[in-house]
Amino acid sequence: MARIKNIDVNDGEMTVVITISEKEYNLLGAKIDGLVLVPTDEVFLERELVTGKIGNGNRIMVPNTFLKNNGIAKLRKRVPSRLFEFNNEKYLFIKLENSSLVPEFEEDEGAGDSK
């Protein structure tokens, strides 16, 4: 995740210095305009939406191929989101998966055998 290191305000203009991961850098590519910085914590993502793969109810629909191509095996039923507006355009930001900050370890077969 990107992190703001410094904000400098000079004559009504702000310069923001951020650190980003290599994956984020690769995602940006050569794009330097039209970037939006938004937090991803649960406080910012204020509205819970109901997701679904099929049906015609009051849901945010996500195509199966999109999920499969992005390695999302199971779609959570309720996801945090936020609607925001920049330059008279509206955007919907949705968190489809949570990351586990606690490492999960698998036990090797035969671990602890001293024979």
Instruction: Reply yes or no on whether the pLDDT at 11 is more than 80.
Output: yes
Is the pLDDT higher at 86 or at 101? 86
Taking only the tens place, the pLDDT of each residue in 12-68 is 899 989 888 888 888 788 777 777 778 877 788 777 777 765 555 567 777 888 888
CA-closest candidate to residue 99, choices 59, 41, 53: 41
| 13-19 vs 3-10, strand pairing mode | antiparallel
Read off the pTM.
Answer: 0.54
Place of tokens 């077969």: 109
Per-residue tokens: 16: 């923001």
